[in-house]
Structure 1
Amino acid sequence: MSYSLRYESPRHEACCWMPSHLRLFIAIDPPRETAVEAGRIIERLRRSGAEAAWVDPARMHLTLHFLGNNVDESELHGICVAMDDACRHLPPFEIAFGGVGVVPDPRNPRVVWLGVCEGQEPLGQLHAGLGERLAPLGFQPEARGYRPHFTLGRLRRGRPGDPPASQALVAEVLALAEVTAGRMRATKVALYSSRHERQGIEYDRLHAASLRGGIEAS
């Protein structure tokens, strides 16, 4: 199989250029209902007064593998082949999103996340399958185990007066521990690049691989 890669905007309009080195990651796109619910959660957390950089929920991705900040364009073909091969062996599956937490712990919250409450096992299998095929290309998985989640915000380093706000944030997080945030049937995995523009970070989809396990080819 040959690949003709086109650099796409989020609206899928082909751009006229592609940088020679890319910041790449492989991810699943969440449904709109999850982005909407994430927006509501972020607004609730924002009212705690904690100093944080909150994400734009419309631009969230469920990351499977981060490939690096400086990946050579020549690696794209091999990455696409690895993605297609891994996805060919797994069928589509259900994912449900929910539960808010912090890392590393509530006493020292640095990152706020929205988790996955159904579909962890097939997500783990997909992550492992991709990792096995990406490793020979030089892309090694993180040493820590894979825990699928969306990052909602990153707290800024504490200053005098911050602890009460952080405590208020943690109280809200604990109240959202059982919140639900939509569900989806995962059928595709996408390769994205990200780049810094004046208006912020832009994401470009370079390739999509379909989950085909158990599906008869037409």
Structure 2
Amino acid sequence: MEGEKGIRSFLCVELDEATKKRLARWVKDLSEKMSELRWVDPEGLHVTLKFCGEISPAQVESINLELSRLKGRMVSPFELTLAGVGAFPHLRQPRVIWLGVAGEVQALHSLWRQVEMATKRAGLPPEGRPFHPHLTLARVKNPKDVPLSFLLELSQEDASFGPWTVEALTFMRSTLTPKGAKYSPLARYKLGGEC
């Protein structure tokens, strides 16, 4: 590990390569229409289950230990698809533009609950907000830069990226750079089976 330096990290489910490629083409088209937004690199798109923040190497080990203890008891692999565009806090004052998640969402919620319990046992505070599964597409510096008509059109678009099977939970490191966050896996936990 890195001595006492904090490790910025989160737990997520990743997209498969085919879904990432389809999504990358769509995001490229959108970014050409609205270049004033900070679009997320499609390679790094994921569904966050728990943002851990800056944690110590000891906390990383503790979380890893708690998640490893779930071996064989994690939810079984399940299928998700991407559906619906929205914004936080809402379309009229967007700070984050996101793509929703559909499919076997109950299984995703079950995995989220397992992650919450494991990270709580490792000493992290529980999430104070309800779980709203999504992929962050873009961040908005100034909401006035985004015409409501663009967001309304986007929210009504019927973009289809096909389903993918979630087979693992990923413990991801996030390194901030001038060009945005770069992600690298700290660990992966196979769903319904061994690590």
TM-score scaled by structure 1? 0.78
Q: Which residue of 2 aligns with 1:139?
A: 124
Residue identity opposite 2:13 in structure 1: I
Structure 1 residues 117-149: Cα deviation after superposition (integer angstroms, max 9, x where no partner): 112111101110111121122212321111111
Counterpart CA distance in 1 for 2:4 and 2:46 is 22
Residue identity opposite 1:34 in structure 2: T
Q: Does 1:172 align with 2:153?
A: yes
**Residues 19 and 164, structure 2, Cα contact 8 Å, conserved in 1:** no
Over 3 Å counting, the alpha-carbon distance change for 1:199 and 1:50 in structure 2 is closer
Residue identity opposite 1:208 in structure 2: R
Counterpart CA distance in 2 for 1:45 and 1:198 is 22
Larger Cα-atom Rg: 1
Over 3 Å counting, the alpha-carbon distance change for 1:18 and 1:206 in structure 2 is farther
Q: 1:124 aligns with which of 87, 106, 109?
A: 109
**Residues 84 and 210, structure 1, Cα contact 8 Å, conserved in 2:** no
Q: Which residue of 2 aligns with 1:202?
A: 182
The alpha carbon displacement at 1:44 in A equals 3.7
SS in 2 for 1:121: helix
Q: Which residue of 1 aligns with 2:164?
A: 184
Structure 1 residues 161-213: Cα deviation after superposition (integer angstroms, max 9, x where no partner): x4xx512321331332x322222111111111111346543212111111126
Give % identity. Answer: 26
Structure 2 regions of 5+ residues with no counterpart?
A: none
Over 3 Å counting, the alpha-carbon distance change for 1:26 and 1:158 in structure 2 is closer
Counterpart CA distance in 2 for 1:109 and 1:37 is 24
**Residues 82 and 102, structure 2, Cα contact 8 Å, conserved in 1:** yes
Q: Does 1:75 align with 2:54?
A: no
Q: Which residue of 2 aligns with 1:3?
A: none
Counterpart CA distance in 1 for 2:33 and 2:131 is 29
Over 3 Å counting, the alpha-carbon distance change for 1:100 and 1:18 in structure 2 is farther
Counterpart CA distance in 2 for 1:170 and 1:203 is 28
Residue identity opposite 2:52 in structure 1: L
**Residues 110 and 156, structure 1, Cα contact 8 Å, conserved in 2:** yes
Aligned length: 193
Q: Does 1:148 align with 2:133?
A: yes
Alpha-carbon RMSD: 2.3
SS in 1 for 2:147: helix
SS in 1 for 2:132: coil
Structure 1 regions of 5+ residues with no counterpart?
A: 1-6, 8-16
Q: Which residue of 2 aligns with 1:13?
A: none
Q: Which residue of 2 aligns with 1:66?
A: 51
**Residues 188 and 210, structure 1, Cα contact 8 Å, conserved in 2:** yes
